[in-house]
């Protein structure tokens, strides 16, 4: 839009001149040239009227940016004439950019099927009765007897503001809403924030407001903050992994594992979904996964283990087999397994070659999952067109997002 207003030729090689030091910086092919006019430079003093604006090196015009409810507007003043761009609709005030928007429209392909992520109404996934039971267990754990702090502050009506204090992906709103509701507190989100919103500096950011009895606000405080910070941290890591896959043109699934915190699985799996990754199986009843111990207990026969699984799981439950070698994976495929996990491959090349051979033998009848020792430092090596799913322990090694709740 700036180039259109300026009339700058597309072939010009642009630079950016920074305010401090005025060192030219390449503009990554965007053909943009700015001079920031926040401070005076001895070689070119800046008039007061131009402070806080930017100057185009090519047309010598001064630019400013203004916002209103309709979005961004760029203003260019050149030779005494001011030109204004059309509004660019964007919510500048709160940087509400759900991470799923960057990849929700890209279908995930597994076998012959394609599915798309729907980032709306995440809360509809959660059974309200199960949610209330979960919240009650948290409150019972935190207050097994007397609430001494509640006695100190009393039950007068008050309000508190929820702040985000570090960057990340917001996730866990249904859980904190349930906490506040059970304590007869009213909670209102501010500025269109919702699960999936990016939290971007400057901090702190106002996320919401809680109203109700002071003692109830303080009962909810730590449980709500713990839940929100952990769920958001997991969503942030999941989002980073999904964006890493997208940047490297990997269109398979990035999945979590079942290495969750006892009693907190629903929150952690929810965070993975909000971040744009796959939950994998939710529990032992969701899918039959035959691991090395299962095979050993069946006398070492993968075929026997798969047939036993098929007998009880029926046609509605998938069967996956953890395989250390290509031979084991082929045996699992021939036995009728739906998914084979290539576990602990020593390199991405090894996994790629095994997966390619399995796809040659079984076509799209077999889903190939790769797992074992994967994280952000090495997962790119394992991106392969023949690997449908890469799974890792997203619930471990994540960094919590920082929130606080302050009485107004």
What is the torsional sign of CA 251, 257, 261, 263? positive
> CA-to-CA distance for 301 and 351, rounded, in angstroms?
23
**Cα 283 to Cα 270: distance, rounded to the nearest angstrom:** 14
CA distance between the termini of the chain: 42
DSSP label at residue 400? P
- Residue 326 contacts by C-beta under 8 Å, 6 or more apart in sequence? 354, 357, 358
- What whole-number distance in Å separates Cα of residue 227 and Cα of residue 237? 16
d(CA 135, CA 217): 15
Contacts of 20 (CB under 8 A, 6+ apart): none
Cβ burial 42-53 (10 Å sphere, 16+ → b, else e): eeeebeeebeeb
Catalytic, out of 165, 186, 259, 406: 259
Which DSSP string do the residues of 289-323 spell out, in sequence order? EE-HHHHHHTTT-HHHHHHHHHHHHTTTS-EEEEE
Active site annotation includes 188: no
Nearest alpha-carbon partner for 305 in 336, 284, 282: 336
Question: What is the Cα–Cα distance from 150 to 336, expressed in whole angstroms?
Answer: 59
Q: Are 340 and 332 in contact (CB under 8 A)?
A: yes
**Residues with catalytic roles:** 259
């Amino acid at each position: 839009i700036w180039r259109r207003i300026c009339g700058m030729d597309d072939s010009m090689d642009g630079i950016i001149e920074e305010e401090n030091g005025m060192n030219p910086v390449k503009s990554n092919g965007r053909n943009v040239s700015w001079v920031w006019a926040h401070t005076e430079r001895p070689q070119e003093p800046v008039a007061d009227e131009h402070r806080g604006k930017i100057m185009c090196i090519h047309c010598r015009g001064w630019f400013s940016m203004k916002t209103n409810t309709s979005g961004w507007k760029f203003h260019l003043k050149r030779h005494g004439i001011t030109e204004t761009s059309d509004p660019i609709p964007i919510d500048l005030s709160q940087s509400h950019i759900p991470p799923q928007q960057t990849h929700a429209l890209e279908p995930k392909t597994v076998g012959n099927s394609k599915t798309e992520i729907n980032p709306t109404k995440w809360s509809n996934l959660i059974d309200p009765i199960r949610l209330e039971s979960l919240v009650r267990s948290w409150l019972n754990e935190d207050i097994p007897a007397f609430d001494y702090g509640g006695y100190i502050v009393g039950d007068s009506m008050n309000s508190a503001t929820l702040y985000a204090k570090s960057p990340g992906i917001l996730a866990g709103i249904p859980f904190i809403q349930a906490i506040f509701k059970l304590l007869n507190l009213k909670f209102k989100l501010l500025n269109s924030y919702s699960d999936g919103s990016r939290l971007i500096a400057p901090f702190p950011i106002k996320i919401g407001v809680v109203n109700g009895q002071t003692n109830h606000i303080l009962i909810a405080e730590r449980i709500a903050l713990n839940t929100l910070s952990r769920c958001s941290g997991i969503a942030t890591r999941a989002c980073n992994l999904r964006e890493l896959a997208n940047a490297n043109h990997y269109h398979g699934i990035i999945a979590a594992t079942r290495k969750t915190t006892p009693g907190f699985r629903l929150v952690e799996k929810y965070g993975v979904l909000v971040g744009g990754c796959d939950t994998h199986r939710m529990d032992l009843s969701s899918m039959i996964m035959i691991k090395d111990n299962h095979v050993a207990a069946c006398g070492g026969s993968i075929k026997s283990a798969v047939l036993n699984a098929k007998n009880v799981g029926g046609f509605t439950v998938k069967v996956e087999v953890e395989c250390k070698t290509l031979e084991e994976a082929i045996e699992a495929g021939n036995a009728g397994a739906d998914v084979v996990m290539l576990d602990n491959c020593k390199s991405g090349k090894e996994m790629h070659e095994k997966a390619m051979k399995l796809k040659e033998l079984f076509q799209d009848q077999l889903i190939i999952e790769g797992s074992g020792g994967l994280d952000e430092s090495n997962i790119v090596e394992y991106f392969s067109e023949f690997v449908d799913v890469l799974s890792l322990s997203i619930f471990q090694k994540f960094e919590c997002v920082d929130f606080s709740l302050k009485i107004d």
